[in-house]
């Protein structure tokens, strides 16, 4: 079995190669973009969960570059959450008690709907700010009690680098917990190495892991094994998903996702309304559909398996709970 770094090195970067691996032909996708400005990246273990010969596969739709990404529509911008200016390069302080640290400059997979698809990772990562500056910022901001390491995926860093950052942050007096926002264990379950598990267990303060899984088909036995390892050392393992047109935009899709998450020991946390980033408008779902998905989930699931449906509004100090009534 290949190690995670070899799998990462060998990701699919060409839409043609990806379609070939799935026994699909270019003629199945007349709207394909062969040279997207946001490059294609898809690791093999994620491809293994796609259905060969199925052009409408919900995992394939999340990663395949289409011409629709080049549309420039009103209301869709390059930085929908106004993240270009943080107090330090790679450090965002949007919510009072939490800061978000952009630890690395990329991800194992490029999700076509990503709200950071235009993010200037070259200038906005921890590398540019330096850990000393971040620690100094935290010392001057005692209202911050949690650091979220987010995408670019923090688990792209090697185990040694990650261990050193986690342990340094955990020693800042006001920090009560650390959070890892990652999709890497989902798309490359081999990323959950014994060394990583050991690093998390030695942090000394609680670590919360928030995974990103959009569809029940993403959960397979190998991922479940990796989640079990994470659960042994993390205070909680949660999931956030994004509602995506044609991928998971029915109540049944979401009910299946919640049930599979429960089977894998992951608690549904957030179901995010799509951020209006340029290039992702074809994933947008109507308000009526979102309201009906939420109603369907509430009817079919116990409360602890219904994620909070939220949207993020630039400049607001918290996420906004979905509260739109069904159309009459």
Residues in contact with ligand SF4 by CB under 6 A are 107, 109-111, 114, 116, 151, 153, 183, 212
Rounded distance between C-alpha atoms, residue 321 and residue 318, angstroms: 9
Query: Are 154 and 162 spatial neighbours (Cβ–Cβ below 8 Å)?
Result: yes
Question: Which helix (H) or strand (E) segment is 136 a member of?
Answer: helix 131-140
Q: Tokens at residue 161, please?
A: 């680098």
List 238's β-bridge partners, or say none: 210, 267
Question: Rounded to the nearest whole angstrom, what is the least distance from the CB of residue 54 to ligand SF4 in the complex?
Answer: 22
Closer by beta carbon to ligand SF4, 94 or else 212? 212
Rounded distance between C-alpha atoms, residue 178 and residue 202, angstroms: 12
Closer by beta carbon to ligand SF4, 183 or else 260? 183
N-terminal to C-terminal alpha carbon distance within the chain: 55
Count CA atoms within 13 Å of residue 80 on its CB side: 22
Question: Rounded to the nearest whole angstrom, what is the least distance from the CB of residue 13 to ligand SF4 in the complex?
Answer: 14
Closer by beta carbon to ligand SF4, 109 or else 170? 109
Closer by beta carbon to ligand SF4, 110 or else 284? 110
Question: Rounded to the nearest whole angstrom, what is the least distance from the CB of residue 272 to ligand SF4 in the complex?
Answer: 10
Rounded distance between C-alpha atoms, residue 44 and residue 55, angstroms: 17
Question: Rounded to the nearest whole angstrom, what is the least distance from the CB of residue 107 to ligand SF4 in the complex?
Answer: 3
Closer by beta carbon to ligand SF4, 93 or else 118? 118
Question: Among 90, 162, 167, which Cα is nearest to 126's?
Answer: 90
Task: Report the residue number whose CB is nearest to ligand SF4.
Answer: 151
Cis amide prior to 234 (ω within 30 degrees): no
Phi, psi of 297, deg, nearest 5: -65, -45
Phi, psi of 17, deg, nearest 5: -65, -40
Question: Rounded to the nearest whole angstrom, what is the least distance from the CB of residue 172 to ligand SF4 in the complex?
Answer: 25
Phi-psi region of 6 (alpha: psi -120 to 50; beta: other; left: phi over 0): alpha
Closer by beta carbon to ligand SF4, 163 or else 183? 183
Closer by beta carbon to ligand SF4, 110 or else 199? 110
Question: Among 158, 183, 178, 35, which Cα is nearest to 107's?
Answer: 183
Query: Are 251 and 306 spatial neighbours (Cβ–Cβ below 8 Å)?
Result: no
Question: Rounded to the nearest whole angstrom, what is the least distance from the CB of residue 153 to ligand SF4 in the complex?
Answer: 6
Question: Rounded to the nearest whole angstrom, what is the least distance from the CB of residue 279 to ligand SF4 in the complex?
Answer: 12
Closer by beta carbon to ligand SF4, 180 or else 301? 180
Question: Rounded to the nearest whole angstrom, what is the least distance from the CB of residue 296 to ligand SF4 in the complex?
Answer: 25
């Amino acid at each position: 079995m290949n190690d995670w770094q070899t799998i990462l090195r060998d990701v699919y970067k060409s839409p043609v190669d990806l379609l070939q691996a799935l026994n699909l032909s270019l003629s199945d996708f007349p709207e394909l973009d062969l040279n997207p400005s946001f490059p294609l990246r898809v690791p093999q273990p994620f491809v293994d969960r796609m259905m060969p010969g199925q052009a409408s596969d919900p995992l394939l739709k999340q990663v395949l570059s289409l011409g629709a990404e080049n549309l420039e529509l009103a209301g869709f911008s390059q930085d929908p959450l106004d993240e270009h200016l943080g107090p330090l390069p790679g450090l965002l302080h949007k919510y009072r008690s939490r800061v978000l640290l952009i630890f690395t400059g990329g991800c194992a997979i490029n999700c076509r709907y990503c709200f950071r698809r235009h993010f200037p990772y070259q200038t906005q990562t921890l590398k540019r700010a330096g850990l000393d500056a971040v620690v100094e910022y935290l010392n001057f901001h005692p209202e911050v009690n949690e650091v979220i390491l987010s995408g670019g995926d923090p688990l792209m860093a090697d185990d040694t680098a990650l261990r050193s950052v986690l342990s340094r942050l955990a020693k800042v007096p006001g920090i009560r917990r650390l959070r890892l926002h990652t999709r890497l264990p989902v798309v490359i379950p081999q990323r959950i190495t014994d060394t990583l598990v050991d690093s998390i267990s030695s942090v000394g303060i609680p670590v919360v892991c928030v995974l990103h899984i959009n569809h029940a088909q993403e959960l397979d036995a190998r991922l479940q094994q990796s989640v079990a390892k994470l659960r042994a050392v993390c205070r909680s393992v949660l999931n956030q998903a994004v509602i995506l047109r044609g991928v998971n935009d029915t109540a049944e899709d979401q009910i299946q996702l919640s049930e599979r998450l429960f089977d894998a020991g992951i608690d549904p946390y957030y179901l995010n309304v799509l951020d209006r980033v340029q290039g992702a408008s074809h994933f947008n779902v109507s308000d009526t559909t979102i309201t009906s998905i939420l109603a369907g989930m509430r009817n079919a699931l116990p409360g602890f398996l219904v994620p909070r449906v939220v949207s993020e509004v630039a400049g607001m100090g918290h996420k906004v709970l979905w509260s739109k009534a069904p159309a009459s």
